Amino acid sequence: MLQSELLKTTNGFINGRWCGADSNKTMPVVNPATGDTIAIVPVMGRTETELAIESAAAALATPSTIDERRRWLSQLADLITEHREELGRIITHEHGKPWKEAQGEADYAASFFRYYSTVVDHLKPRQLADRPRGHQWTVYSRPAGVVALVTPWNFPLAMLAKKFSAALAADCSSVVKPSSKTPLSMVALFSLMEQIELPPGKANLILGPAGEISDVLCAHPAVRVISFTGSTPVGKKLMAAAAPHLKRLSLELGGNAPFIVFDDADLEQAVDHAMSNKFRGSGQTCVCANRLYVQSGIADAFATRLAERATALRVGDGMQEGTEMGPLIDQNAFNKVRSHVDDAINQGATRIAGSETQIASRNAGWFHPPTVLRGVTANMLCVRDETFGPVAPIIEFASEQEVIDAANATEYGLAAYVFTADDQRAERVISRLQFGHVGHNTGSGPTAEAPFGGMKQSGFGREGGLEGLHDFIETQTVPRP
Ligand code: NAP
């Protein structure tokens, strides 16, 4: 079992108190690098979710001041930073990513609390400068109410930090439901949160698989917003379940990111960014390159260099010194990645990197070698679907128009990347790409200070930046004579 000063309990948290499940049902949390059970957590359901929503609703009766919220947010940023190594260790044990990378996730989580602590003043009432209709007009940003925050396993801490920091800034009360694969990072965050003395009910943690929990979150009249990060099929189910109750939704869903490299790009820069963008989190990030479109003149050089670099990556247990890439989250993830590689090879692609001998750990983990494929075509699964694994399929293209059409030929619209030395071309291409986040000569993902979110079936709503507050506020306008 994983011992940690931040995991003195592995229970949920409702109305200011740690609690288990009424049913006494439990489930294991498994380390994907070893297959070991590292903790046992409660399986909560209807009763606990209703209790959490009711305590969250009761907490709304006592609004907090902007100063209190600023203090809570900055205290949380400090606490996460102070405990970054331990939080990172917990993330690595339940997710598998290398410890250094996991500490980076803790820093990223802290940056959202820090950022919203610095902009919470934007939520102060605003008075119009003139007096339309002979009245004085005040615009208030009221908390939207009880918000349900449902998150995936691929960034067990950061995906919640994005939502929770904005919800807290807006003075909402939260019911948090992390992925049942990675609940421990959230338990650790709530144990840190005890130190900032939030009012009871302001933040509640429900543990267990979706099912009953999400049924209650979607149907309970007190829940006003459902902020969800996860797959597109689950996002659609939530939208359908929430529709009869007209709940507001923010959906951060799946991606199928094109990574476009033109002939005039800086080769080393493009390869460097492809490596960090593609293989971070073992390729299990929503923003990672899913399809690499490389112009014919640079394709051989790019493919050779990328294959060399991918082959040199050290794959193993994230807690082992020197590990650069960890395992996949579970057997289903492994099977999906393997099926995408097999499908590409059966349809004529060539594997130029991706040998099993590259894997340092020889234990029960779900390790997949960093794989590079050439001769990939549009009909292959790895181009059509989100692979969510360490596979880099290279597709050659000839013209600008051809690559824009190919990149947009997907139902997804989350992230894209364009590498070219020609700024005018970059401007032209970016303006025509239907993606919410487009890196120019960078594979960088989002930052706390700027809005991030998807187009098309990658969802709607934005996280980060001032826009990230919008999902959690109700605007109320008051004219006075
Ligand atoms: P997922 O299967 O959709 O699960 C996400 C969350 O939804 C988990 O807490 C899960 O709980 C819950 N859930 C599962 N089935 C549900 C249902 N029928 N109703 C309500 N909730 C349900 O996604 P995942 O596998 O954890 O995460 C990977 C996906 O997230 C990828 O598609 C990735 O692109 C996407 N993602 C998007 C962003 C973004 O910013 N756009 C960021 C990160 C990840 P349980 O599993 O515990 O039941």
Q: Tell me: the pLDDT tens digits for 460-480?
A: 999 999 999 999 999 999 999
* Closest to 310 in 3D by CA, of 342, 338, 277: 277
More confident residue, 355 or 395: 395
- Sign (positive or negative) of CA dihedral 74, 79, 85, 86: negative
| Residue 385 · residue 348 · CB < 8 Å | no
361 band by pLDDT with thresholds 50, 70 and 90:
low
pLDDT value for 360 = 67
Residue 5 DSSP symbol: T
Q: For 292-301, 308-317, 362-371, which range has the lowest pLDDT when averaged over its residues?
A: 362-371
Q: Which of 19, 218, 286, 382 is catalytic?
A: 286
- Does pLDDT of 358 surpass 80? no
Pick the atom of ligand 1 nearest to 217's CA.
Answer: 20
Residues 6+ apart with CB under 8 A from 78: 110
Considering the chain, what percentage of its residues have pLDDT values greater than 90? 98
- Please give the Cα distance from 92 to 32 (Å, whole number): 9
Q: Which protein residue's CA is at the shortest distance from atom 8 of ligand 1? A: 179
**Mean pLDDT of all residues in 37-44:** 98
Cα distances from 10 to residues 19, 88, 156, 420, in angstroms, run 9, 17, 15, 49
Would you say 184 and 38 are in contact if contact means Cβ atoms under 8 Å apart? yes
Identify the CA nearest to 418 among candidates 259, 278, 226.
Answer: 259
* pLDDT surpassing 90 at residue 363: no
DSSP string, 68-96: HHHHHHHHHHHHHHHTHHHHHHHHHHHH-
Straight-line distance from the first to the last Cα atom of the chain, in angstroms, rounded to the nearest whole number: 65
Q: Are 411 and 456 in contact (CB under 8 A)?
A: yes
The reported pTM is 0.98
CATH superfamily of 257-447: Aldehyde Dehydrogenase; Chain A, domain 2 (3.40.309.10)
Residue nearest (by alpha carbon) to ligand 1 atom 23 = 230
Q: Decide if 339 contacts 347 (C-beta within 8 A).
A: no
Give the pLDDT confidence score for residue 64 in this predicted structure.
Answer: 98
Owner of token pair 């008051």: 478
Backbone torsions φ then ψ of 451, nearest 5 degrees: -70, 145
Q: What is the mean pLDDT of residues 199-213?
A: 98
Distance CA 195, CA 178 (A): 21
Q: Residue 307: its pLDDT value, please?
A: 98
Given the CA of residue 459, which atom of ligand 1 is nearest to it? 41
Residue 217, Cβ density class (10 Å: 0-12 exposed, 13-18 middle, ≥19 buried): buried
Work out which ligand 1 atom sits closest to the CA atom of 214.
Answer: 20
Catalytic residue among 105, 252, 396, 463: 252
Cβ of 437 less than 6 Å from ligand 1: no
Is the pLDDT reported for residue 362 higher than 60?
no
Average pLDDT, the chain: 97
Residue 65 pLDDT greater than 90, yes or no: yes
**How high is the pLDDT of residue 310?**
98
Q: How far is the CA of 249 from the centre of ligand 1 (A)?
A: 15
Whether 286 is catalytic: yes
Q: Reduce the DSSP state of residue 211 to 3 states and report it.
A: coil
Let me know if the fold of 12-253+458-480 is the same as that of 257-447.
no
Helix (H, G, I), strand (E, B) or coil at 403: helix
pLDDT in tens, 150-173: 999 999 999 999 999 999 999 999
Domain spans, the chain = 12-253+458-480, 257-447
Task: Evaluate: CB of 252 within 6 angstroms of ligand 1.
Answer: yes
d(CA 462, CA 209): 26
**CATH architecture under which domain 12-253+458-480 falls:** 3-Layer(aba) Sandwich (3.40)
Q: 356 falls in which pLDDT band (50, 70, 90)? A: confident
pLDDT at residue 39, as a whole number:
98
